[in-house]
Structure 1
Amino acid sequence: MSILKSVISLGASVLMPIIFFIVGLLFRVKIGKAFEAALLVGVGFTGLNMVIDLLLNNLGPATNAMVKRFGVHLTVLDTGWANASQIGWSSALMPLAVFTFLLVNVLLFVVKFTKTMDIDIFNYWIFLVVGTVMYVASGSFVIAFVIMLLLFILMLKVADWTAPTIQKQFGMSGLSFPHLTNSPWVLLALLVNGIVDHIPGLNRVKLSPKQINKRFGVLGEPLVIGFILGILIGALAGFSAPKVMDLAVKVSASMLLLPKMVDILMEGLKIIRGAVEKVLKSKYPDREIFIGMDVALMAGDPSVMATGLLLIPITLLLAVILPGNRVLPMVDLSSIIFILPMMAAYLKKDLLRMLIAGTIMMVFILYIGTDVAGFYTAAAHMTGATVPTGTSQIISMNSAVTNPLGWLAIKVSQLLGNAF
């Protein structure tokens, strides 16, 4: 566990270039070209993380101020995805899971069960945190591990099924996204599409960023949309005029810079992916091959960012008015953008449909979070993860624990644990 944690602690900006450099050499890329591709990936991840930190570090104080200003008092504190990651990587399941996931993925690829080679090992924590909560719920290491492995295999297939649509909508050829936090919400996107398509008048409304830009000119530019949304959030937080303007400019900067960082990263990915595809196609000429990556690559899309920012005040309002909800949205308010990307692809980046689906999604997240908070808090105590002093229960809104599939897995593990 110590060795694995040391490797993981290098972070994506260091470890991913190393992985891509080695993969490049293995697939006959010249050493200079492999080094260039690896550096582009490293620079892309570094830039991506810098812009995400800029956004989250500025949205964090605004969302906290908004919570205090609205006077929201609930008993389950949202401590954020970083805390969930701490639970996952500190779990007793971790050492066996990491090696098993890698081995199973390779075997399933070789036998043509999946087209996806998932190299996004940093997000294994998403499976691990669900596995740890299942361990608490069932009292059984074996039950938790088996269900967690089945979830991983299922996500590889879902990544295969969703890849064509995502690639088309986001222009990310050759990539797929075996992401347990995002994938289950695709079904919600399909449901919302089906309902909206049958509502006269509403089914003719088109609000993609391109259409807004075409209709409103400069006011539809991502740069300006980010600025306007920054002003809205700053005003709701009760900031002074200078602080509102500062937040607006930084949100605007994030809207502009995130896609540019992804473009740099994609340059490196294309070099390695091209070499991998060339070699594998010679051995498997009839096979499609996807590289599994993090949905953060899509989070910088203007439709995703705009919807995520609008959902911040909507989520706070839902937390107040939903009967029976105990979750206090806090840390993950600013990272809602990372739950939306796969839905966005199926909603064709239409802001109205994304806002409808996103609002329904947050209702599910709040109620599921309320239901599983006891198990989640116990998992945090078991793994030594941070539980703020004076807090009775915690949850992470931006984790697979709070989506319907994660909830179902936890409930099934609980039933099996009680049965055996």
Structure 2
Amino acid sequence: MQTFKTIMDTFGPNIFVPVVIFIICLFMRINVKKAFNSAILAAVGLVGFSMITDYFTPVISPVVDKMLKIAHLNLPVLDIGWQATAVIAYSTHIGMIFIGILLVFQIFLFAVKWTNVFMPSDLWNNYSLILWGSELYLMTKNVWLASFLMLFGNLVCLLYSEMIATRWSTYYGYPQCTLTAPHQVCNVPIALILNYVLSKLGADKIQLNPKKIQEKLGFLGDPMIIGFIVGMLLGLIGNFTMLTSIKSWGQILTTAVTTAAVMTIFPKVGSIFAASFSSITSASQKSMKKGGREWYVAVNDALGYGETATLTTGILMIPFALILAFVLPGNLVVPVMCLTGFAYDSEINVALSNGNIFKALIMDIIIFTGQLYIGSYFAPMFTKIARETGVTMPKGSLMVIGFVAANILMGLITIGFLTKNPLIIGIIVLLYVVQFIYYKKNKQKVTDIIEKHSDYSDSLNKNLEVS
């Protein structure tokens, strides 16, 4: 297991994913030249995504730090981010065993057609499943129950990943791709309900998406200009107590220009990565015409990060997150490291709302509210694991949490498993089975409903035009 982990850490997703794509191409009888070209395009795209996010994060982090100081949040639990969370998950003794178990399990599920999502291509994000399993093991010392939780969580993730595959791949323009990161796709049932309710409440009448903004505001609606404005707004909020300082204005304008650059460059890198799937898509379509299956490759959430509506929603979420942490009664968590990563968490909400920033932001706010409480509940357990794996505790904090370990659905499932009550665990499993059977029997119907409500605003416009 240690050897496998070393290989995974050494090569990383920028190498691992292209290798998987190359193997898939050969398996689908695509010639070696096209298969190699697809793999290289994927590698170039992934490196491009990494370069953008790696450059952008250090630019906005100092601004976020200033916002935290302005907020004066004095709470006992500190958010240490997904990077530290991943290290913790992979450093536990039980986590080392779980790595191999999950890989075999995911390949098996795809091979027997339990799922149409090939999850091993995003193997890195298994760390959040491993973390939940490790937490349960720490609290119960029951390796079988912890293993069952982890595998059951994987089944839940695959169900929701497949459910939103068409919507996500359509909106972001990556054919045959979907998200499988558990800390994101487990938000799908909540996001679906919120999207439906908000549509019924008339949220679609406020069409705050890049296309509509550009139609109404002209050049001000260009993604580059939107990025500049949003970046400027973020910079101003972070520096509003120091607006007389030239240094502050340097940071404000740097944030604005960098955000504009990300929104301009990201789609170009995205088109390179999308091109890597052209051969697979073509072969898949031919296979489907002959009665073959439709399937999707799991990809990293970095692929949607810089899309205009997604990044805008993620940045706008930062001040709301700080306000929520300050005003919510019973919240113990100071959100820190998660603030720069909200664009990742916004992807599903943005895709389901078809780029409606207004709706996606409301959905983000509601989901994050629940995550603050889940994070507060699990902080003692997470802190215990962190200490056992040798993580240095941040100065001044009593406990720590990573928001990967604050997912609402996985948190509630874990709470159910912590009871060790067969009836409660049985009910949880039964709820999954019912959803799974219904989806498999009505897959196209479910997909059509999701597409209909994501496109609700366009339907609304057409109805208004007809009347």
TM exceeds 0.5?
Answer: yes
1:140 maps to a residue whose letter is N
- Residues in 1 aligned to 2:3 and 2:220: alpha-carbon distance in whole angstroms: 51
Give the equivalent residue in structure 1 for 2:5. 5
* Equivalence map 1:17-416=2 (5 Å): 17-118=18-119, 119-199=121-201, 202-238=203-239, 240-275=248-283, 285-397=291-403, 399=404, 401-416=405-420
Give structure 2 stretches of 5+ with no counterpart. Answer: 243-247, 424-467
TM-superposed deviation, 1:44: 0.7
- Residues in 1 aligned to 2:36 and 2:96: alpha-carbon distance in whole angstroms: 30
| Contact kept? 2:379, 2:400, Cα under 8 Å | yes
User: More deviation in 242-251 or 138-147?
Assistant: 138-147
Structure showing the higher helix proportion among its residues: 2
After superposition, the C-alpha distances for 1:318-376 in whole angstroms (9 at most, x for unaligned) are: 11111111111111100011111112222222111111111111211111111110111
- Residues in 2 aligned to 1:18 and 1:110: alpha-carbon distance in whole angstroms: 19
Shift in CA distance, 112/334, structure 1 to aligned 2, threshold 3 Å: same
TM-superposed deviation, 1:197: 3.0
| Contact kept? 1:189, 1:347, Cα under 8 Å | no
Give structure 1 stretches of 5+ with no counterpart. Answer: none
Greater RCO (CA < 8 Å, at least 6 residues apart): 1
- Residues in 2 aligned to 1:417 and 1:383: alpha-carbon distance in whole angstroms: 29
2:176 maps to a residue whose letter is G
User: More deviation in 341-350 or 88-97?
Assistant: 88-97
2:400 maps to a residue whose letter is I
- Residues in 2 aligned to 1:165 and 1:203: alpha-carbon distance in whole angstroms: 17
TM-superposed deviation, 1:75: 1.2
| Contact kept? 1:137, 1:410, Cα under 8 Å | no
- Residues in 1 aligned to 2:411 and 2:388: alpha-carbon distance in whole angstroms: 19
After superposition, the C-alpha distances for 1:200-244 in whole angstroms (9 at most, x for unaligned) are: 6x4522111111111111111111111111111111211611111
TM-superposed deviation, 1:78: 0.7
- Residues in 1 aligned to 2:199 and 2:356: alpha-carbon distance in whole angstroms: 13
Give the TM-score taking structure 1 as reference length: 0.92
After superposition, the C-alpha distances for 1:94-121 in whole angstroms (9 at most, x for unaligned) are: 3433333232223322332211111111
- Residues in 2 aligned to 1:199 and 1:27: alpha-carbon distance in whole angstroms: 46
What is the number of residues matched between the two proteins? 415
| Contact kept? 2:157, 2:186, Cα under 8 Å | no
After superposition, the C-alpha distances for 1:233-286 in whole angstroms (9 at most, x for unaligned) are: 1112116111110111111111122222222112123334545665x659x724
After superposition, the C-alpha distances for 1:294-315 in whole angstroms (9 at most, x for unaligned) are: 2221222211111110010110
What's the secondary structure of 1:247's corresponding residue? helix
| Contact kept? 1:230, 1:252, Cα under 8 Å | yes
| Contact kept? 1:138, 1:415, Cα under 8 Å | no
After superposition, the C-alpha distances for 1:103-159 in whole angstroms (9 at most, x for unaligned) are: 222332233221111111111112112222222232322211111101112211222
- Residues in 1 aligned to 2:6 and 2:283: alpha-carbon distance in whole angstroms: 30
| Contact kept? 1:83, 1:386, Cα under 8 Å | no
1:70 maps to a residue whose letter is A
TM-superposed deviation, 1:418: 12
What's the secondary structure of 2:185's corresponding residue? coil
| Contact kept? 1:134, 1:409, Cα under 8 Å | no
Q: Give me the identity figure in percent.
A: 28
- Residues in 2 aligned to 1:345 and 1:332: alpha-carbon distance in whole angstroms: 20
